[in-house]
Structure 1
Amino acid sequence: MAINKDKNGQTNSINQVRYGCALGALHSVTAIPGAMPIAHCGPGCVDKQYTSLAFYNGFQGGGYAGGSVTPSDNLGENEVIFGGEKKLSELISATLKIMEADLFVVLNGCIGEIVGDDVSSVVSKFQEKNVPIVYAETGGFKGNNFIGHEIITEAIIEQYVDKYAVDKDKKIKGLINVWSELPFQNTFWRGDLLELKRVIEGAGFQVNILFGNGSKGIEEWKTIPNAQFNLVVSPWMGLSTAKYLEKKYNQPYLHIPVLPIGAGQTAEFLHQIVAFAGLDITHVDEFIKQEEKEYYYYLEHFTDFYAEYWWGLPATYAVVGDSIYNLAINKFLVNQLGLIPGKQIITDKAPEKYREAIAKEYAHLAEDVATTVEFVEDGYIVGEILRKTDFGHKPPIIFGTTWERDTAKALNGNIVEIGFPASYEVVLNKTYIGYRGALTLLENIFTAAISKSA
């Protein structure tokens, strides 16, 4: 099959896609305890997003509101011609009778947006009856699920939080809103957000983690305006929300682009937060001391293995995945393990305006270690880049996805799946960040290396 290319050699299609469409961010709704998405879209849209993002990606499952549970009106030819507002109204009414939720979020898909359905008008009639419901315009052509996530987040804040929050002008010192990983897209988001909350609370803060089992659900969202500041832990996703909240509620924000993995990165991460908040460092230093005591206990015993097998372990690596995990894994591998960066490829279609700043982070992974990063979405091109990379005389270790398994075999290397799709991982609450997650990551890296897992 011929593939058309533009003057820069870029194709007009994507092979081995690595994210969902904007509607796929319905999983951001299901990640909020007590929230229920309602999809205004064509037949199969919800199922396709679930199968890719929540099933063949760590087999995370749909839970109370995801998967086959999510209400959808499955728009057809009749709605394309005559509009689907009536059908949406009927679906919302039926959902309110059958499903229990603290908040309902209507997501408008491609068909509804293209034919011009006035979803706002339909939803407003229910809002006038004090039904806890909001809407978000998440047509697939708006972008991927990273963009959809921010659309949904701001819709909930604008239409629900702003209406029901108590004493919005009151600020609670030490309360932080955290904006970080994309639920379900980031395979290990559940465990990661729990560990992120644990270490920040250990440093003496209150945390609105907002998504996942560690969140108090909608009641927690209502306190978003009361936070002392917003914390963005990501190279780019969440920045739009933080800037929006800065204008809306006069909340400052702290942007830390690197998700912390391991003792050094986590200690630096916590010190940055404490300094920004203007708190005394005594408490955080005591917490860090206790965490590092446990962390290095395990590393001390790990060194017996490392000293014995170092000659057979990989020395170079490549990371292929979302920008948040790509950068975090790189920092850890260089600073904690002393591995040599080979090729780094970011696949999440990071907006152009953020790419220069992201690339600069790779220019100083450590004091004397730098590398470059490429932004590539097409899986075929990713494979070609990896095959042409000189990894030295030892087989490399590839941190990537299921799509990279064949490439790793061709390079006689090892693979650790760290992102979507991860269909050789069953994930419950595994984490790769912080103190505890770094230990798990070490286990997986070197188990893959000595077993030559395929």
Structure 2
Amino acid sequence: MSISGTKDTDKDFGECEKLKKTNSIEQVRYGCALGAIHSAFAIPRVIPITHCGPGCAQKQVTSISFNNGFQGGGYGGGAVIPSTNINEKEVVFGGENRLRELIEATFKILKADLFVVMTGCIPDTVGDDVRAVVGEFQKKGLPIVYAETGGFKGNNFTGHELVTRAIIDQYVGDYDGPKEKGVVNVWSLLPYHNTFWKGDLTEIKRILEGVGLKVNILFGNKSDGVSEWKNIKKAQFNLVLSPWLGLQTAEHLKEKYGQPYLHIPVIPIGAKETSSFLRKVVDFAGIDKERAERFIEQERKEYYNYLEGFSDFYAEYFWGLPAKFAVIGDSAYNLAITKFLVNQLGVIPARQIITDNPPEKYRKLIVEEYRNIAEDVSTEVEFEEDSYIIHEKIRKTDFGNKPPIIFGTTWERDLAKELKGHIVEIGFPASYEVVISKSYVGYRGALTLLEKIYTTTVSASA
């Protein structure tokens, strides 16, 4: 059976374009490359230093880590971030001296294990030699690296790859020694941009350790910070757990250290997908399968024990629950949630729209994943960044006779009301969620996601 809510995709797109004849993007869903300051301070005791215009860093923080689950800035983010705040003087005469002064002051005032200098559009445009300035401090043995992240380089997904590569090449350094079997570096969700990244990475680390691996999770509360990054080069392999983010880093590590990598596009949600995911990793790592199976069976048993009670609710109230859904968000969560809803709950995918602008070379792979979303279910996916066009597409979608459920962002709240449907915020911006440690992935996260979905639908009908 092939299920698709996008038969008239090309026609719809043409109609939307006629309505909106502009090159602007309405209600943006990502930051600029400088937004990857979040990737820096997502590493414990790492502080970014921004060489940019006034307000550039502040705007990224306000949108990505505040109006997105109100996550806060932690040790090195938010109001802590030093900035040159360059203006007309630096545009005319260059800002290298201003940057040098800021770095010197930062080392005197702030304590960190590593500083990451990141540039905005102005210094990248006027040609400031940031490499030379930072190099002066590197030669003194100080822990500092730089990444050129002017906004025109791309969005914060692009910036993330630039930051990780800068730390690897300038701080982790070269290595041709032995690798440690059973050690894995995990490259997955984009810190802070993914609203639930902290809890998700915690769950991913937990289940990988459960099957017997030693995990360099690299970002978040469960990371050991720069000492963990220093050990990247000794890992047996890299795990890229996302449709595309992290692949460039893994390919670079393969070339630099000779490390193989395993790419699993679908972030696992629920017992079926998580168990399959763990078995693939165990096979690739060549570690003890019996130990892994004991852990998997224990987790599966606990998961389905919880679902016993839920199944009574699902059977009793099935007539009043949404039958079709739409997902609007970045490729990682879009694919993961679509697969979970189809395989675990049997809900019908009506429209899937990816908003993180994946590089063209990865899109074919992503499209194929949706065409094989389940054994007997196929659906199409669309790539769109403009909320005006996205919302027009959703309005034209056939959701049947029941209220739809939309997995999206704050931008979709009014749209859901207009369609008399339900909204579950799963990504940036999420200004109606306060997130501390919530996770939607793995065995435990799936239960939390089910609670969120059906609390939303039941409370809306009360």
**TM-score over 0.5 for the alignment?**
yes
Residue by residue, what CA displacement relative to the aligned partner does 1:197-244 show, whole Å, maximum 9, x if unpaired? 000110110000000001000000000010100000000000000000
The alignment status of 1:144 with 2:155, answered yes or no, reads: yes
- Work out the percentage of aligned pairs sharing the same amino acid: 67
The alignment status of 1:302 with 2:310, answered yes or no, reads: yes
Partner Cα distance (1:283, 1:266) in 2: 16
Q: Structure 2: 5+ residue runs without aligned partners?
A: 1-15
What TM-score comes out, normalization by structure 1 length? 0.97
- Which amino acid in structure 1 is aligned with residue 406 of structure 2? I
Match in the other structure for 1:188: 196
Match in the other structure for 1:285: 293
C-alpha displacement at 1:104, in angstroms?
0.5
C-alpha displacement at 1:169, in angstroms?
1.7
The alignment status of 1:378 with 2:386, answered yes or no, reads: yes
C-alpha displacement at 1:11, in angstroms?
3.8
Partner Cα distance (2:394, 2:17) in 1: 22
- Which amino acid in structure 1 is aligned with residue 230 of structure 2? K
Q: In the alignment, is the contact (CA less than 8 A) between 1:414 and 1:453 conserved in 2?
A: no
Match in the other structure for 1:423: 431
C-alpha displacement at 1:374, in angstroms?
0.4
Q: In the alignment, is the contact (CA less than 8 A) between 2:200 and 2:439 conserved in 1?
A: yes
Q: Helix, strand or coil for the counterpart of 1:425?
A: coil
Match in the other structure for 2:331: 323
Partner Cα distance (2:336, 2:206) in 1: 18
What TM-score comes out, normalization by structure 2 length? 0.95
Pairing partner for 2:34 from 17, 23, 36: 23
Pairing partner for 2:124 from 113, 120, 136: 113
Partner Cα distance (1:50, 1:177) in 2: 27
Q: Helix, strand or coil for the counterpart of 1:26?
A: helix
Partner Cα distance (1:168, 1:428) in 2: 40
C-alpha displacement at 1:6, in angstroms?
8.5
Pairing partner for 1:64 from 37, 60, 75: 75
The alignment status of 1:398 with 2:409, answered yes or no, reads: no
Partner Cα distance (1:297, 1:103) in 2: 45
The alignment status of 1:451 with 2:462, answered yes or no, reads: no
Match in the other structure for 2:9: none
C-alpha displacement at 1:280, in angstroms?
3.3
Bigger drift between 275-284 and 328-337 goes to: 275-284
Match in the other structure for 2:134: 123
Partner Cα distance (2:176, 2:112) in 1: 24
Bigger drift between 415-424 and 276-285 goes to: 276-285
Residue by residue, what CA displacement relative to the aligned partner does 1:289-341 show, whole Å, maximum 9, x if unpaired? 11111111110011121121111100100000000000000010000001000
Q: Structure 1: 5+ residue runs without aligned partners?
A: none
Q: In the alignment, is the contact (CA less than 8 A) between 1:415 and 1:453 conserved in 2?
A: no
Bigger drift between 270-279 and 313-322 goes to: 270-279
Match in the other structure for 1:434: 442
C-alpha displacement at 1:9, in angstroms?
7.6
Pairing partner for 1:49 from 60, 85, 90: 60
Pairing partner for 1:205 from 213, 220, 227: 213
Q: Which runs of 4+ in 1 moved over 3 A?
A: 5-11
Partner Cα distance (2:442, 2:21) in 1: 37
Q: In the alignment, is the contact (CA less than 8 A) between 2:191 and 2:198 conserved in 1?
A: yes
Closer, same or farther: CA 423–173 of 1 in aligned 2, 3 Å: same
Partner Cα distance (1:118, 1:387) in 2: 49
Match in the other structure for 1:173: 181
Partner Cα distance (2:330, 2:315) in 1: 32
Where do 1:312-391 residues align within 5 Å?
312-391=320-399
**Relative contact order higher in (CA < 8 Å, ≥ 6 apart):** 2
Match in the other structure for 1:74: 85
Partner Cα distance (2:45, 2:287) in 1: 34
Q: Helix, strand or coil for the counterpart of 1:261?
A: coil
Q: Helix, strand or coil for the counterpart of 2:70?
A: coil
Residue by residue, what CA displacement relative to the aligned partner does 1:335-364 show, whole Å, maximum 9, x if unpaired? 000100000000001111111110010001
The alignment status of 1:246 with 2:254, answered yes or no, reads: yes
Pairing partner for 2:265 from 243, 257, 264: 257
Q: Helix, strand or coil for the counterpart of 2:173?
A: helix
C-alpha displacement at 1:278, in angstroms?
1.9
Match in the other structure for 2:104: 93
Q: In the alignment, is the contact (CA less than 8 A) between 1:314 and 1:395 conserved in 2?
A: yes
Instruction: Give the RMSD, CA atoms, in angstroms.
Output: 1.5
C-alpha displacement at 1:285, in angstroms?
0.7
Match in the other structure for 1:222: 230
Pairing partner for 1:38 from 42, 46, 49: 49
Partner Cα distance (2:31, 2:273) in 1: 30
Partner Cα distance (1:265, 1:404) in 2: 28
Partner Cα distance (2:239, 2:427) in 1: 23
Residue by residue, what CA displacement relative to the aligned partner does 1:68-109 show, whole Å, maximum 9, x if unpaired? 110001010000000000000000000000000000000011
Pairing partner for 1:103 from 98, 114, 118: 114
Aligned residues: 447
Q: Helix, strand or coil for the counterpart of 2:424?
A: strand
Q: In the alignment, is the contact (CA less than 8 A) between 2:17 and 2:389 conserved in 1?
A: no
Partner Cα distance (1:246, 1:326) in 2: 28
- Which amino acid in structure 1 is aligned with residue 84 of structure 2? D
Q: In the alignment, is the contact (CA less than 8 A) between 2:212 and 2:288 conserved in 1?
A: no
C-alpha displacement at 1:453, in angstroms?
8.3
Q: In the alignment, is the contact (CA less than 8 A) between 1:347 and 1:377 conserved in 2?
A: yes
Partner Cα distance (1:121, 1:279) in 2: 45
Q: Helix, strand or coil for the counterpart of 1:370?
A: coil
C-alpha displacement at 1:385, in angstroms?
0.5
- Which amino acid in structure 2 is aligned with residue 52 of structure 1? S
Q: Helix, strand or coil for the counterpart of 1:36?
A: strand
Match in the other structure for 2:416: 408
Match in the other structure for 2:12: none
C-alpha displacement at 1:277, in angstroms?
1.3
